[in-house]
Amino acid sequence: MSIQKGDTIVITGANKGIGLETAKSLLKSGFKVVSWSRNAPEYQHPDFKHFNCQIANHDDVKAVCEATVSELEGGRLYGLVNNAGLGWFGRVEELPLEQWHEMFDVNVHGLMYAIRQVVPVMKAQGAGHIINIASIAGRDGVVQGSGYSATKFAVSGISSALYKELREFGIKVSCVYPGSVNTNFFDRVEAITAHSNMMAAEDLGEMLDWMLKTSANYLPVDIEIRPLKPRG
């Protein structure tokens, strides 16, 4: 069965950026949203809950998933938007190893931890939708982004294998490949300052809301989105 009003969607990292704007779109559509993130969102709504979670920590993810399920009150955990992520950029011989490891811990391992917690719940329901946020850097390498691109290629690989593994259980798996979006993501990137010719996070939120609302036998597998005029 496709998504219903009152279903719960988990978004990792919904305290700002794409995650927060997606939460707002989903709440407008009448869904319940739970954020698993390190910092609580300032934005408040009666159907928007936050659980403190370091997504790179398996015990944290397991605990917040159990807490989320225990508060469903008979409702469904229909969706997981794997959005939490970060990018460090630099020449391969200079990029600090901790930054390389942090990207893999959050973008790849954390994403897998969240998936392995929700899949049994979705299998029991016979329905669910996992959306993984990759990047265009996960389709084509970017200069000084060897680590970030590697993590996003991994997200693409996980998504491609899992949509084939989980479709027979009524679970959709989609992968989204955004170009540049005007968010705090670029605070870590010395060479780029976020600007208004990048895509708006609100537009991604609306698209993710649409993806989750697609009918039961309709699976968006890979979606690449870019700003039309990145230089204005």
Ligand X SMILES: NC(=O)c1ccc[n+]([C@@H]2O[C@H](COP(=O)([O-])OP(=O)(O)OC[C@H]3O[C@@H](n4cnc5c(N)ncnc54)[C@H](OP(=O)(O)O)[C@@H]3O)[C@@H](O)[C@H]2O)c1
Question: Cα–Cα distance between 92 and 90 in angstroms, integer?
Answer: 6
- Which residue, 127 or 138, is less far from ligand X as judged by CB? 138
178 sits near ligand X (criterion: CB under 6 A): yes
Question: Cα–Cα distance between 12 and 169 in angstroms, integer?
Answer: 23
55 sits near ligand X (criterion: CB under 6 A): yes
Residue with tokens 């691109």: 149
- Which residue, 173 or 181, is less far from ligand X as judged by CB? 181
37 sits near ligand X (criterion: CB under 6 A): yes
Name which of residues 57 to 116 contact ligand X (CB under 6 A): 83-87, 106
Q: By CB under 6 A, which span of 22-30, 93-101, 183-191, 208-216 interacts with ligand X? A: 183-191
227 sits near ligand X (criterion: CB under 6 A): no
b/e per residue, 166-185, with b = 16+ CB within 10 A? beeebbbbbbbbbebbbbeb
b/e per residue, 14-44, with b = 16+ CB within 10 A? bbbbbbbbbbbbbbebebbbbbbbeeebebe
List residues binding ligand X (CB under 6 A).
12-13, 15-19, 37-39, 53-56, 83-87, 106, 133, 135, 178, 180-181, 183-185
